[in-house]
């Protein structure tokens, strides 16, 4: 017990944004409590970044470990805001500030009447789908499993939707090759691409494998896909260039992974039999003043028993937290200050999740074209692949936000020693309850031996 008046800040979410904020606040002498809902605090890096980015994920894990395993930072795993701890209680307990760094884990609902009734009966959302892909090979994995059927359909358009359709293709071709007695790893297939891998094994035309390739369906044109983003205030010339880049990126990705793309198509109904999705009815669209407008007279259908919706991730609504649209009610998007309660701030994807215009302007600078190429696996073959820097933008924003929070906290009176100690006592009790006795030993216990 430290017998001194001091500041104590609570952070919910221990991944890229939460750990970055924790490090900065702790360096300013503030005591920091990091509540994390999961056993491990790696967030999107572990559960959203497909596991073929093996080296990058390991590197990011180490960086997060370094930020959390340090004096002044108290980690409380397996503790979910809204379930194990309520927001109103947290506010009442009297922390010097509260940071919401809980990311964007709610899939934007698919805008098809009645669609939700078909979730896990053929309709799957991107976040659980990638979670399955990243973890299903672990012996202890007990979650839902998915099998990729011929012609699987992904509805989307951004980077994450290309991840989804790549997963489809890697699974389908991996199985088709295995059926011919050719054993290739997912990593090899992703790294070299499907045609090159087939060629290496004497198959000059991958079509000979008889795979029914999967579909990526997007409501706008290929050149509108948000896989590369124009800088804020881009000139007409820059916008045209970006369109060319998008087309090239997608064409390269298709060349390597052989998925089919259906642009200018809007899903309007799920096709179902008694208890399962069997396809999607779409209508064609046309672009009018930058908007995709449905052409009701031009319907068409795609048939498959798996439809993954990958149309964006949003912050999860949590009891007691006021929403403004699909985001929390921020008074200021730059500081992430939460309007209803002073001293509460959003940091990271919880503020910058896609779909917000202002946020996406800031977002634009983060992922350079070369980084997108490396992310998608379509970089030149003589260049070493690296997605180092993917999180730089979000980290830079988390750093800026944490610095502002530290400045805010320092304008506030210190918590009396007894009040700060009482907060720490609560935290220690919760750590004991979940069996946490220190970062390194906890991580050693909860990391599956076969985790990638």
Ligand X SMILES: Cc1cc2nc3c(=O)[nH]c(=O)nc-3n(C[C@H](O)[C@H](O)[C@H](O)COP(=O)(O)OP(=O)(O)OC[C@H]3O[C@@H](n4cnc5c(N)ncnc54)[C@H](O)[C@@H]3O)c2cc1C
Q: Whose Cβ is closer to ligand X: residue 267's or residue 393's?
A: 393
Pattern 161-190, ligand X, x by CB under 6 A: --x---------------------------
Of 9, 10, 17, 266, the residue at the interface with ligand X (CB under 6 A) is 17
Largest CA distance in the chain: 74
Sheet of 123-125, strand order: 123-125, 307-309, 153-155, 215-217, 260-262
Work out whether 246 is an interface residue with ligand X (CB under 6 A). no
Question: How many contiguous H segments (helices) and E segments (strands) does the chain have?
Answer: 15, 19
Handedness of CA 408, 410, 413, 419 (dihedral sign): positive
Q: Whose Cβ is closer to ligand X: residue 213's or residue 395's?
A: 395
Give the closest residue to 234 by CA, choosing from 333, 353, 364, 363: 364
Beta carbon of residue 41, minimum distance to ligand X (angstroms, whole number) = 5
Residues 269, 224 contacting (CB under 8 angstroms): no
Work out whether 101 is an interface residue with ligand X (CB under 6 A). yes
Give the closest residue to 257 by CA, choosing from 215, 308, 300: 215
Choose the stretch contacting ligand X; rule: CB under 6 A; options: 43-51, 110-118, 167-175, 193-201: 43-51
Decide the pairing of beta strands 277-288 and 291-303.
Answer: antiparallel
Beta carbon of residue 346, minimum distance to ligand X (angstroms, whole number) = 9
Work out whether 362 is an interface residue with ligand X (CB under 6 A). no
Classify 294 as helix, strand or coil. strand
User: What's the number of CA atoms in the CB half-sphere (13 Å) around residue 152?
Assistant: 29
Torsions phi, psi of 48, nearest 5?
Answer: -120, -30
Work out whether 242 is an interface residue with ligand X (CB under 6 A). no
Work out whether 262 is an interface residue with ligand X (CB under 6 A). no
Handedness of CA 426, 431, 437, 442 (dihedral sign): negative
Of 112, 153, 160, 308, the residue at the interface with ligand X (CB under 6 A) is 160
Work out whether 393 is an interface residue with ligand X (CB under 6 A). yes
Beta carbon of residue 112, minimum distance to ligand X (angstroms, whole number) = 23
The number of residues that bind ligand X (CB under 6 A) is 37
Beta carbon of residue 320, minimum distance to ligand X (angstroms, whole number) = 11
Pattern 342-361, ligand X, x by CB under 6 A: ------xx------------
Report how far apart the first and last C-alpha atoms of the chain are (Å, whole number): 38
Work out whether 82 is an interface residue with ligand X (CB under 6 A). yes
Of 159, 177, 227, 406, the residue at the interface with ligand X (CB under 6 A) is 159
Interatomic CA distance for residues 175 and 209, integer angstroms: 10
Interatomic CA distance for residues 173 and 178, integer angstroms: 8
CA 142 from centre of chain: 21
Work out whether 127 is an interface residue with ligand X (CB under 6 A). no
Work out whether 10 is an interface residue with ligand X (CB under 6 A). no
Work out whether 45 is an interface residue with ligand X (CB under 6 A). yes
Work out whether 35 is an interface residue with ligand X (CB under 6 A). yes
Work out whether 102 is an interface residue with ligand X (CB under 6 A). yes
Handedness of CA 237, 363, 352, 153 (dihedral sign): positive
Q: Whose Cβ is closer to ligand X: residue 103's or residue 279's?
A: 103
Choose the stretch contacting ligand X; rule: CB under 6 A; options: 132-140, 159-167, 199-207, 433-441: 159-167
Work out whether 309 is an interface residue with ligand X (CB under 6 A). no
Classify 406 as helix, strand or coil. helix
Beta carbon of residue 451, minimum distance to ligand X (angstroms, whole number) = 15
Return the number of other C-beta atoms located less than 10 Å from residue 23's C-beta: 21
Q: Which residues bind ligand X (CB under 6 A)?
A: 12-18, 35-38, 41, 43-45, 48-49, 80-82, 101-103, 105, 159-160, 163, 318, 348-349, 363, 366-367, 390-391, 393-394
């Amino acid at each position: 017990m430290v017998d001194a008046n001091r500041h104590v800040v609570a952070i919910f979410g221990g991944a890229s944004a939460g750990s970055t904020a924790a490090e900065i606040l702790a360096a300013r002498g503030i005591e920091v409590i990091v509540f994390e809902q999961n056993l491990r605090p790696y967030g999107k890096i572990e559960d959203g970044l497909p596991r073929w980015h093996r080296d990058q994920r390991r590197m990011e894990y180490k960086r997060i470990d370094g930020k959390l395993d340090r004096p002044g930072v108290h980690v409380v795993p397996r503790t979910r805001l809204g379930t194990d701890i309520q927001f109103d209680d947290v506010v009442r307990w009297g922390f010097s500030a509260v940071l919401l760094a809980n990311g964007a884990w709610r899939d934007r609902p698919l805008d098809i009447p009645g669609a939700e009734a078909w979730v896990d009966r053929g309709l799957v959302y991107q976040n659980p789908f990638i979670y399955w892909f990243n973890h299903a090979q672990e012996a202890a994995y007990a979650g839902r499993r998915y099998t990729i059927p011929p012609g699987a359909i992904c509805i989307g358009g951004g980077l994450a939707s290309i991840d989804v359709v790549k997963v489809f293709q890697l699974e389908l071709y991996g199985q088709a090759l295995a059926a011919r007695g050719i054993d290739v790893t997912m990593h090899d297939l992703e790294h070299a691409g499907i045609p090159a891998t087939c060629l290496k094994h004497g198959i000059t035309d991958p079509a000979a494998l008889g795979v029914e390739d999967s579909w990526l369906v997007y409501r706008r044109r290929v050149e509108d896909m948000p896989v590369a983003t124009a800088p804020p205030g881009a000139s007409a010339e820059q916008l045209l260039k970006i369109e060319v880049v998008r087309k090239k990126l997608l064409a390269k990705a298709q060349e390597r992974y052989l998925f089919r793309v259906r642009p200018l198509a809007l899903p309007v109904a799920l096709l179902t039999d008694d208890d399962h999705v069997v396809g999607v009815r779409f209508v064609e669209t046309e672009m009018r003043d930058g908007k995709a407008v449905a052409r009701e007279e031009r319907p068409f259908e795609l048939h498959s028993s798996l439809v993954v919706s990958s149309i964006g991730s949003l912050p999860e609504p949590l009891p007691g937290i006021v929403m403004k649209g699909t985001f929390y009610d921020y008074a200021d998007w730059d500081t992430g200050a939460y309007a209803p309660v002073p001293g509460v701030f959003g940091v990271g994807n919880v503020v910058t999740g896609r779909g917000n215009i202002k946020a996406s302007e800031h977002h634009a600078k983060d992922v350079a074209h070369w980084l997108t190429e490396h992310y998608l696996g379509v970089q030149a073959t003589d260049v070493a692949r690296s997605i180092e820097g993917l999180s730089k933008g979000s980290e830079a924003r988390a750093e800026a936000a944490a610095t502002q929070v530290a400045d805010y906290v320092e304008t506030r009176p210190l918590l009396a020693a007894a009040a700060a100690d009482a907060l720490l006592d609560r935290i220690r009790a919760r750590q004991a309850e979940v069996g946490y006795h220190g970062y390194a030993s906890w991580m050693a216990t909860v990391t599956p031996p076969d985790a990638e």
